[in-house]
Amino acid sequence: MTVDEQIAILRRGTSAIVSEEDLRKKLSLGRPLRVKLGLDPTAKDITLGWAVVLRKIRDFQRLGHTGCIIVGNFTAQIGDPTGKSKTRRQLTREEVMEYFEAIQEKLYKILIPEKTQLFFNEDWLGKMTFADVIRLSSKYTVARILERDDFTKRLAEQRPISMHEILYPLCQGMDSVEIDADIELGGNDQLFNNLVGRNLMEQYGKAPQVVMTCPLLVGTDGKEKMSQSIGNYVSISDTPNDMFGKTMSIPDDLIGNWFELCTDVPLSEVAELTAEGQNPRNAKVRLAREIVALYHGEEAGAEAEQYFVDTFSKRQQPVEAEEVTLPDAAVADGFVSIPALIVELGLAKSNGAVKDLVKAGAIALDGEKVTDLRMERDQVLGRVLKVGKHAFRKIVG
């Protein structure tokens, strides 16, 4: 494949390439490139938003290059402040490794195992002495670090910035130095950190990495970036029916963006699907089917579409809703706490959110709206719980 053909593939779903001229030079070297992505494990799932940059690594892998995943078992204990208005909680090493173990196998739903290398940055950052840290700090100025947008805003608002946050971009840059990265990928919010790595590589006498960033996927609420903490996410481990239903719930103005970032559908075809005068529902059905097919197979995508049509378009209750065991944590003295039940099943992020859904009439058992937050166990067992428009679970003992 020519360099131009590779560039055309790699440019899809990217917002910045620093620089494209350097990328062309790297692709002309005639050897597999080392394509770096740093992951600080801070949650136990992989969302479609996180998958955007993982899919970009897979694009490189399909072109014969190597994906180098840096597991931030050191840096996650520091806390990257990117996009945060305040200092992020520092995790323990045990918490970080627990999160990584939860996502490790899920990574290979996207990445090609034989073209993936895993590194743990504790192996080099954890061995640095205080003198090493001082020497590293001398390679970057305070003025340059404070150019970060979030630091600038916090200074203007007189919010505190801790020294460990200032050191974080240097730690991430050292990851690139250690593994001789040719390219570093990240979301838009990582541009500053990745450029620090590019600068440090030059100072250490190495060829500077190319920096490529991808847009941050907006979540199902149509407002905030997709986040597990907010709850506006689709997991790549969701069941086909849940994945399809959640995708169908996104606002129409996100359809084109999700096609570009979450699927392999040619952009020329996307333009036809989303052209003026086309029914956005048809485009959204195609989008949902494509996403399900990527993670569960084409047959699952077709079945999820049929389930959605039968259940929602025809206003039927599913004949075979997914069965789930009544969680012990939701039961006390023979009564079931509806908020605790729904939170335990992962269908809402908090008891308060469930209470809001109840008030809105968005929770039902066998089609009957739930109005009580506490119900007898026998009133719940064997019945189909509906949460919102698209989530159904049959509660069993």
Report the chain's mean pLDDT, rounded to a whole number: 88
> Cβ distance 370 to 380 under 8 Å?
no
Is residue 235 a part of any domain in this protein?
no
pLDDT score, position 320: 63
Q: Is residue 220 part of a domain?
A: no
CB count, 10 Å around CB of 361?
10
Q: Write out the two tokens for 142.
A: 């305070």
Judge whether 294 lies within some domain: yes
Q: Residue 386 above 90 pLDDT?
A: no
Domain boundary among 293, 313, 333: 313
- pLDDT of 275 > 50? The answer is yes
Q: Which of 296, 313, 330 is the last residue of a domain?
A: 313
Same domain, 296 and 371: no
pLDDT on residue 85: 47
Q: Is residue 230 part of a domain?
A: no
Instruction: For residue 336, give its domain range.
Output: 322-396
- Considering the domain architecture, whether residues 35 and 171 belong to the same structural domain is answered as yes
| Residue 89 pLDDT level (bands cut at 50, 70, 90) | low
Q: State the CATH number of the domain containing residue 342.
A: 3.10.290.10
Q: Output the pLDDT for position 390.
A: 73
Reading the block at residue 144, the tokens are 């340059």
Q: Does residue 135 sit within a domain?
A: yes
Residue 145 sits in the same domain as residue 194: yes
What average pLDDT score do residues 133-160 get? 83
Residue 317: per-residue pLDDT: 59
pLDDT at 318: 57
The Cα–Cα gap between 157 and 188 comes to 23
Same domain, 306 and 344: no
Q: At residue 120, does pLDDT exceed 70?
A: yes
Q: Please count the other Cβ atoms lying within 10 Å of the Cβ belonging to residue 273.
A: 18
| 6, 63 contact by CB (below 8 A) | yes
List, for residues 325-334, the tens digit of each pLDDT value: 999 899 988 8
User: Is the peptide bond between 137 and the residue preceding it cis, with omega within 30 degrees of 0?
Assistant: no
pLDDT of residue 181: 96
Q: Which of 91, 112, 76, 80 is nearest to 187 (CA)?
A: 80
Pair 261, 128 in one domain:
no
Residues forming a β-bridge with 196: none
Q: pLDDT (tens digit, 9 = 90+) per residue, 191-214?
A: 888 999 999 999 999 999 999 999
**Cβ-contact 42, 99 below 8 angstroms:** yes
Q: Indicate if 146 and 45 belong to the same structural domain.
A: yes
Cα dihedral 25, 28, 31, 34 sign = positive
Of 284, 313, 342, which residue constitutes the final position of a domain? 313
- Tell me the per-residue pLDDT of 156-197, one tens digit each, with 9 for 90 and over: 888 888 888 888 889 999 999 999 999 999 999 888 889 999
Asked if 34 and 179 sit in the same domain, the reply is: yes
Give the 3-state DSSP-derived string for the chain, with helices as H, strands as E and coil as C: CCHHHHHHHHHCCCCEEECHHHHHHHHCCCCCCEEEEEECCCCCCCEHHHHHHHHHHHHHHHCCCEEEEEECCCHHHCCCCCCCCCCCCCCCHHHHHHHHHHHHHHHCCCCCHHHEEEEECHHHHCCCCHHHHHHHHCCCCHHHHCCCHHHHHHHHCCCCCCHHHHHHHHHHHHHHHHHCCCEEEEEHHHHHHHHHHHHHHHHCCCCCCEEEEECCCECCCCCCECCCCCCCCCECCCCHHHHHHHHHCCCHHHHHHHHHHHCCCCHHHHHHHCCCCCCHHHHHHHHHHHHHHHHHCHHHHHHHHHHHHHHHHCCCCCCCCEEEECCHHHEECCEEEHHHHHHHCCCCCCHHHHHHHHHCCCEEECCEECCCCEEEHHHHCCCEEEECCCEEEEEEC
What distance in Å separates the CA atoms of residue 305 and residue 286, rounded to the nearest whole number? 9
Q: Any idea what the CATH number is for the domain that residue 33 is in?
A: 3.40.50.620
- What percent of the chain shows pLDDT beyond 90? 53
Binned at pLDDT 50, 70 and 90, residue 75 comes out as: confident
88 pLDDT more than 70: no
Domain count, the chain: 3
196 and 65, same structural domain? yes
Higher-confidence position of 9 and 84: 9
The percentage of the chain sitting over the pLDDT mark of 70, rounded to a whole number, equals: 95
Residues 50 and 69 in one domain: yes
Check which CATH number belongs to the domain holding 304 and give it.
Answer: 1.10.240.10
Closest CA to 261 of 199, 200, 218: 218
Q: Both 32 and 144 in a single domain?
A: yes
Do 264 and 355 belong to one domain? no
Give the tokens for residue 307.
């389930």
Whether the pLDDT of residue 93 is over 70: the answer is yes
pTM of the predicted model as reported, rounded to 2 decimal places: 0.76
- Domain assignment present for 222: no
172 and 199 both lie in a single domain: yes
- Assigned domain for 390 exists: yes
Q: Does a structural domain hold residue 234?
A: no
Q: What is the mean pLDDT of residues 274-301?
A: 93
